[in-house]
A and B are shown apart, each in its own frame.
Chain A
Amino acid sequence: MKINHNRLTIHEAYKLLRSKQLSSVELTKAIIERIHQVEPKVHALITVTDELALKQAQKADELIASGDINPLTGIPAVIKDNMCTKGILTTCSSKMLENFVPPYNATVVEKLTDCGAVVVGKSNMDEFAMGSSTENSALFITQNPWDLARVPGGSSGGSTAAVAAGETIYALGSDTGGSIRQPAGFCSVTGLKPTYGRVSRYGLVAFASSLDQIGPLTQDVTDCALVLNAIAGYDPRDSTSAPHPTPDYTQCLTTRLNGLRIGVPKEYFVEGMQTEVETAIRTAVSKLEELGAKADWEVSLPNTPNALAVYYIIAPSEAMANLARYDGVKYGFSYQGTDSMWEAMKKTRQYGFGAEVKRRIMLGTYALSAGYYDAYYLKAQKVRTLIRQEFDRAFEKFDVLVTPTSPTVPFKIGEKVDDPLQMYLSDICTLPVNIAGLPAISIPAGFADGLPIGLQIIGKPFSEETILKIAYAYEQATEWHKRKPDL
């Protein structure tokens, strides 16, 4: 029997590697071959690190031969291009960092490397993770493997498309307002945004510091738990990382949901939502009920519609502060055609940043400027409190909340680029989760005319085990995650 190596999950590959039926070098070569085959169509990767990957694979095979193996040893991974990789280009899909080679590894990269992981590439994204379609990349556009005329979602569109297209076994993404979950929904893969503070952000290029979080993009829930096991935990180099203990996230994966209480907040079924998406989510909730959970369809979180404004005030405000460091002095693009310091700084930022990044810097600067701070930034922070309190109250009655991941299936490339507000609306179901710092997962929950639909499961802070358990039970009772795009 010929095994389709590039379609193995982590847990399947682990078994084959451990029993020596497959070597990491063979697996890595199969993945690299697949990258060369489909990358001309999908354009998910900015850098393919094939030489490094083969070296890492050889080293992994030596580790395995000596009996030193863990579930990620020798298994190919793709890293979003906003996570620092020592000696490997890290562009953030921006002209500003087009030639930036970090002198150190992000903690997550270090952790994966310590596990013996094989890094096959760095993935495309919306510039500085600002966007919902990966069309804001300053380098190139990524295609959705399910329909090359459509976007993969964003901002982790490259990582997600790479997983869906079989260009990697799994990937890391980052999620500030939905940037793991929304593309996961659009590409029919599993994407988890852990609780704020669960995974170290040391070495992640900062976008909005009170919202950013790194998480796994995988082919199924078991893999998601395995990657979370490897990357979760306290890091003294990230003062916002949480000191909470990390369980073995695979231990919670059972298919019995008896006694679990699920809330379905009605505000997430927004006006303009695609009928097929609504139907798929309602069917999914019924499935969870069949599996033993108890669902309440009448939950209300009335401040949900305000999340969009809260997010697009807070995130740009934090972004404009974080992006102040790009002044052309220490690293990155630097305008050279002047002797004036101010002129050089202005031009460096004019030519180094793309349209969406400029828009958000302007929005954030305005919201924080004298005379507008109270009306915008402070007001948004107060409504943020109300959104958190609503979630807290809901979680007194429910273990999880279940919603669509996005109101529609993936849209066409170019469809929303000229209308920033319409683009922002595609994250309407994912934004509130970051505002409240909660964990949430998106898993495949169906198709409309061959285009993926994602189911979002939101949990209490640090209840990743509960959402993984429910996601796992649903996945085991359905076949959606097994469907792969034809490429």
Chain B
Amino acid sequence: MKLSSEQVLQIALLARLGLTDDEVDRLREQLSNILENFEVLQQVDTSNVPPTAQSITLQNVMKSDEAAVSLPQNQILANAPRREGEFFRVRPVLE
């Protein structure tokens, strides 16, 4: 499975990840090599085998809906790269 540069850029777009031309080249090589090695899985017979998403059997974990104290607003905003008053400042979504 050899990836093309276009495929690498398409995956990067889905992941919202900027890449330099060098990174595109290197990732094309490395990902192709890794994916080629993963082809061993295609040899494994998995007909009638259910998928495993997690290894413990807990299901539908519930908790009671009780109000609790939240962290103070100024502490939450302390790490904000851009803030305006008591809000996170963001760039326009619709232009």
Q: List residues of A whose CB falls within 8 A of some B CB.
A: 99-101, 103-104, 195-197, 210, 236, 239-240, 242-243, 303, 305-306, 308-310, 312-313, 320, 324, 327-334, 336, 339-342, 344-347, 349-351, 353, 355, 358-359, 361-363, 365-366, 369, 375-376, 378-386, 388, 420-421, 435-438, 461
Name 14 A/B residue pairs within 8 A (Cβ), A-sorted.
Answer: A103-B79, A195-B56, A196-B54, A239-B58, A240-B56, A306-B41, A331-B79, A339-B91, A359-B27, A362-B27, A378-B51, A382-B51, A388-B55, A435-B55
12 more CB-based (< 8 A) A-B contacts, given A331-B79, A366-B31: A100-B79, A101-B79, A103-B75, A329-B90, A339-B91, A341-B92, A341-B93, A345-B16, A375-B42, A383-B44, A385-B49, A421-B34
- Which residues of chain B are within 8 angstroms of A461 by Cβ–Cβ distance? 55-56
Flag if A365 contacts B52 (CB, 8 Å): no
Interchain residue pairs A-B with the least CB separation, the first 5: A437-B55, A350-B18, A334-B81, A381-B51, A331-B79
Q: Is B4 an interface residue (CB 8 A)?
A: no
Interface: B82 (CB within 8 A): yes
Say yes or no: A240-B54 contact (C-beta < 8 A), given A303-B44, A309-B38, A330-B80: yes
A108 to chain B, nearest CB (A): 18
Give the interface residue-count category, chain B: 35 or more
Interface of B is mostly: loop
Which residues on B sit within 8 Å (CB–CB) of A437? 54-56
Most buried by A among B27, B34, B75, B93: B34
Residue of B nearest to A209 (CB): B54
User: A104 and B71: CB pair below 8 A?
Assistant: yes
**A residues near B50, Cβ cutoff 8 Å:** 382, 385
CB distance from A298 to the nearest CB of B (A): 23
Complex formed: what's the CA distance from A294 to B37 in Å?
A: 37
Q: Is there contact, CB below 8 Å, between B11 and A366?
A: yes
Residue B67 is within 8 A (CB to CB) of chain A in the complex:
no
The residue that B15 contacts in the complex, of A210, A313, A320, A340, with Cβ under 8 A, is A320
C-alpha spacing A329/B75, complex, angstroms: 15
Known: A328-B81, A359-B31. A380 touches B58 (CB 8 A): no
Q: How far is the CB of B90 from chain A (nearest CB, A)?
A: 6
B63 x A347 contact (CB < 8 A): no
Alpha-carbon distance between A436 and B58 when the two chains are bound, in angstroms = 15
**Contacts A210-B55, A240-B54, A461-B56; A313 near B79 (Cβ below 8 A):** no
Contacting residues of chain B (36-87) with chain A, CB-CB under 8 angstroms:
37-38, 40-42, 44, 46, 49-56, 58, 61, 63, 71, 75-76, 78-82
Q: Are A361 and B17 in contact (CB under 8 A)?
A: yes
On B, residues with C-beta under 8 Å from A are: 8, 11-12, 14-20, 23, 27, 30-31, 33-35, 37-38, 40-42, 44, 46, 49-56, 58, 61, 63, 71, 75-76, 78-82, 88, 90-93, 95
Once bound together, how far apart are the Cα atoms of A441 and B23, in whole Å? 38
- List, in ascending order, chain B residues with CB within 8 A of A306's CB: 40-41, 44
A residues near B15, Cβ cutoff 8 Å: 320, 349, 361-362, 365
Chain B residue, CB-CB nearest to A238: B61
Of all chain B residues, the one with the shortest Cβ separation from A326 is: B16
Min CB gap A359→B, angstroms = 6
Also in contact, A103 and B54, with CB within 8 A (given A329-B88, A358-B19, A358-B27): no
Chain A residue numbers with a CB within 8 Å of B80 are 329-331
Residue from B23, B37, B55, B92 whose CB has the most chain A CB atoms within 10 Å: B55
Q: A197-B58, A349-B18, A369-B14 are in contact. Are A379 and B41 (CB under 8 A)?
A: yes
Whether the pair B14, A383 counts as a contact (CB closer than 8 A) is no
Whether A309 and B78, one on each chain, are in contact in the complex, defined by CB atoms closer than 8 angstroms, is no
B33 contact from A313, A347, A365, A421, Cβ within 8 A: A421
The answer, among B42, B55, B82, for a CB contact under 8 Å with A436, is: B55
Return B69 CB to nearest CB of chain A, in Å: 12
On chain A, the residues within 8 Å of B91 by CB distance are 339-341, 344
- Return the chain A residue nearest B17 by Cβ: A349
